[in-house]
Amino acid sequence: MNPVVRYCLVCITLGAIFLGCTPPPIKVGFIGGLSGFNSDLGISGRNGVTLAIDTINKKGGIKGRKLELFVRYDRQDPEVDREVFRELVNERVVAVIGPMTSSIAQALIPLANETGILLISPTVSSPDFSGLDDNFIRLTTPNTNEALGLAQESFNQRVVKPCVIDDLSNQAFSKTLLRTYTAELRRLYEADGKEIPVVALPYDPDDSESIQTLLTGIERYQPDLLLFTTNSLDTAVLAQRIRQKGYAMPYLGTGWSMSQTLIENGGHAVEGMVFTVPFNPDSEARSWRDFMELYQRSFGKDANFGSSQGWNAVLVLTEALAKVSGSKLKDAIVNKQYEGLQGSFYIDPFGDPVIPFQRLVIKKGRLIADNQTQP
């Protein structure tokens, strides 16, 4: 055989051997809203997931295997998002991080149970998913806890005519929050020997007339406090329109709206808005400070709740992947304590986390931790 040909064949054979020794990547899916009104939460979640995966890969991956991320858009359409989930299943991902909203989780959890692909949501908070033995893990506590904090805040402010702006596009989230908030606020006032009415005004972001209908309802009822269950951009727009009408009542928001998008688009209208959430942007934890610096260098903006939760979701998944795979992933995740970016948290047997809550306020264009309650 010609020496040159023999040399080429040897090179090809050795190359194939070396390539064959490279372990295949571990595929991980992500589903989040990356465009439209819900994009800020989805984008920040994806960014946190990406940074976590890049960091792990630079350290050698999981047992020598790199992680490969497959990102899919969440269209906020249950039928479309089911197809998106099936696409990730066909890619043979070991798990899917997402979605970021409760309404889409409602559509995807049955598919996760059917396919055996674990669904890990950084931010879904509807209590409808609590206490269920399913293929779903989440990193945010049920919004019933958030609602209790918001009710206490309202009671501390001694409101007389509170009003909830009820988002019809994400009822899996807003309906339960409204129900718990109303019940707890009434309980607090009854314990004080008083009664309190709670009015809910519906808002449909897909209805062009909905803002005017909402403004008419506010004009008629004249509330002395507004609780928004809307996303960040809708909250910013509504807050502006209400302030333009001359109303100065205090605002309460939820973790769904709590983002830089809200502050940038809401401006002075959202100054003083209060949140009760399992997140502290002023945390002094070293891991959180390091993450903020990395996030700022990588994306030119501040890290937030969504990005923090995205990172923590990868942390939970990869700790399990270092031990088991496939159908055993959930068992390796639950009943365990984790060290997240801002401190430790526990995931119970049903995949729900236990995390301390924090009172946050928008002051001078920044979200700050403020645990002082009003008399």
| 56-112: pLDDT as tens digits | 999 999 999 999 999 998 887 888 899 999 999 999 999 999 999 998 999 999 999
Strands (E), the chain: 26-32, 67-73, 95-97, 118-121, 136-138, 162-167, 199-203, 225-228, 251-252, 274-277, 336-339, 344-347, 353-354, 358-363, 366-369
First-to-final CA distance of the chain? 94
State both tokens at 285. Answer: 């934890």
- Tell me the pLDDT tens digit for each residue of 156-206: 999 999 999 999 999 989 999 999 999 999 999 999 999 999 999 999 999
Mean pLDDT of 111-140: 94
Alpha-carbon distance 242 to 252, whole Å? 14
- State yes or no: pLDDT of 126 exceeds 60: yes
d(CA 241, CA 235): 10
Side-chain half-sphere exposure of 287, counting CA atoms within 13 A: 12
| 227 pLDDT more than 70 | yes
Two structure tokens written together for 129: 């998913």
Whole-prediction pTM: 0.83
14 confidence band (pLDDT: 50, 70, 90): very low
Pick from 4-13, 93-102, 208-217: least confident: 4-13
Beta bridge partners of 172: none
- Of 9-23, 45-59, 284-298, 331-345, least confident by mean pLDDT is 9-23
Domains and CATH numbers, the chain: 26-141+282-356 (3.40.50.2300), 144-277 (3.40.50.2300)
Closest CA to 235 of 213, 217, 258: 258
Q: Measured on CA atoms in the order 131, 132, 133, 139, is the torsion positive or negative?
A: negative
Distance CA 19, CA 136 (A): 36
Q: Is the pLDDT of residue 20 over 70?
A: no
Could you give the 3-state DSSP secondary structure of residue 165? strand
Among 16-30, 209-223, 242-256, name the one with the lowest average pLDDT: 16-30
Burial class of residue 173, CB neighbours in 10 A (0-12, 13-18, 19+) = buried
C-alpha distances out from residue 73 to 43, 123, 288, 333, Å? 10, 16, 27, 26
Q: What is the pLDDT of residue 16?
A: 42
Q: What is the pLDDT of residue 38?
A: 67
pLDDT of residue 10: 41
The residues pairing with 72 across neighbouring beta strands, listed in sequence order, are: 31
In this predicted structure, the answer to whether residue 342 has a pLDDT above a threshold of 80 is yes
Average pLDDT, the chain: 91
How far CA 52 is from CA of 48, 266, 293, 295, in Å, comes to 6, 30, 14, 10
Q: Which of the four pLDDT bands, split at 50, 70 and 90, describes residue 37?
A: low
Structure tokens given for 270: 């959202």
* Alpha-carbon dihedral angle through residues 216, 222, 227, 230, given to the nearest 10 degrees: 10
Say what the pLDDT of residue 98 is: 96
For the cut 80, the answer to whether the pLDDT of residue 18 exceeds it is no
Quickly list DSSP for 50-100: HHHHHHHHHTT-BTTBPEEEEEEE--S-HHHHHHHHHHHHHTT-SEEE--S
Name the more confident of 184 and 2. 184
Please say whether the beta carbons of 11 and 54 come within 8 A.
Answer: no
- Higher per-residue confidence, 10 vs 368: 368
Q: pLDDT per residue over 25-36, tens digit each?
A: 999 999 998 887
